Amino acid sequence: MTLHPTTVTLLLLLFWLSVGWVFYGYIGYPLLLALLRSFRRLAVQRAPMTPSLSVIVAVHNGARSIRAKLDNLLEQDYPADLVQVIVADDASTDGTAEIAAEYAGQGVRLVSLARRGGKEWAQRAAMGHVTGEIVAFTDVGTLMARNGLSMIVESFADPSVGCVSSTDRFMDNEGRPAAEGLYVRYEMLLRRMEMDVNSLVGLSGSFFAARRAHVPEFSDRMCSDFCTLFASVRAGLRGVADERAYGYYTNIANPAGEFGRKVRTVLRGLTAFFAAHDLLNPLRHPLFSWQFLSHKFVRWTVPFALIGALGASAALALTGSLFFVVIFGIQVAAYLFALLSEASPRLAVGALGRVVHYFVIVNVSIVVAWMRYLGGERVVTWNPSAR
């Protein structure tokens, strides 16, 4: 097939721009962070401290996990007289509230919502009962080491820190790193570099903490972890992560349901991104605006670059170019493999197979999230993934 030279030029431009966009999103941005970190490195001045601490567990239908979660919190090595544990029950119908009420004698406070409003709605209700100087938010399905609370609080000894994220530890049911585990480790490396040069761009929603004075009034349409970080940045503070404060969680029990969780996560992230347009002003937030755009917006537009690269390489392959025939074939093979392994997970064997599968499915979920966002959909309530 013969194409007009101008058409070939435009297709080549589309292909390489698309490839460059994907490269920047996953490799170029981390490389620039590494370069910047070589001459700008902000340490976190951590020190043992025991300020009063309130821990909020927002839960909806978590009867299977709430006992283990509360036992885990009550076994922490943090001084018991300085810890307030609040269970914010988002109108559960499976007996979660009744189980939590059994812990009243151990100092656990139950805040029950009469109607379901979503995670942030529950957290906002719980904030009305908070007494601690520091507030920690943690999911019912996330457990922590015995010193988890002690570790996450130490970063607040640094006056420049407004909020602190835990470090995710994702394992499969046999205790082995899973595909998402590899992805999480990549994200943790990225976060480490981001906080070294300035601030985190996102907190681990499953376990994070903030100074009470900088916890905003949560919107029921935006993730509380995003809102908390944004409030700190607007106050001239930064978000950091502590690699010693682990949040342990396992593979989900229903992979099909997990795709929906990914879609909802991106959908809420897009909502937060476009609502925080003031943080994209490079004159007020020169480093953070660049980080925010690179880590979030570029990543969330990678699927469209992948589509551009696929379409351009397909058209160029028709010209007889061996290079583009091979490139197009590799892309098609990767996408077919991901779809087949989604239908039959046993096909995703080996680290490379699991990563290819995860990468493709994540980007498909991003496309679905964009479609829903542009269609006006916003997520309020949530159904935690069974693990």
* Per-residue model confidence as pLDDT tens digits over 189-227: 899 999 999 999 999 889 999 999 999 988 777 889 999
Q: What's the pLDDT at 256? A: 59
pLDDT below 50 — which residues of the chain?
177
Q: CATH top-level class for 53-251?
A: alpha beta
Query: In 3D, which of 117, 277, 251, 136 has the Cα closest to residue 203?
Result: 136
DSSP notation for 254-319: -HHHHHHHHHHHHHHHHHHHHHTGGGG-TTTSHHHHHHHIIIIIIHHHHHHHHHHHHHHHHHHHTT
Enumerate the domain spans of the chain: 1-39+255-387, 53-251
Matching residue, tokens 């670059």: 305
* Per-residue model confidence as pLDDT tens digits over 223-277: 899 999 999 999 999 999 998 898 887 655 555 567 888 898 899 889 989 999 9
Query: In 3D, which of 226, 259, 279 has the Cα closest to residue 367?
Result: 259
Residues 6+ apart with CB under 8 A from 351: 179, 182
Burial of residue 252 (number of CB atoms within 10 Å: 0-12, 13-18, 19+)? middle
Q: What is the CA radius of gyration of the chain?
A: 22
The pair of three-digit structure tokens given for residue 196, joined into one six-digit string: 């070294």
239: left (phi over 0), alpha (psi -120 to 50) or beta: beta
Q: Tell me the torsion sign for CA atoms 132, 166, 194, 124.
A: negative
DSSP notation for 208-229: EEEEGGG-----TTS-HHHHHH
Q: Count of residues for the chain?
A: 387
Cβ distance 257 to 385 under 8 Å? Answer: yes
Query: In 3D, which of 282, 286, 128 has the Cα closest to residue 212?
Result: 128
Quote the CA–CA distance of 57 and 89 in Å, as a whole number. 8
Cβ distance 365 to 262 under 8 Å? Answer: yes
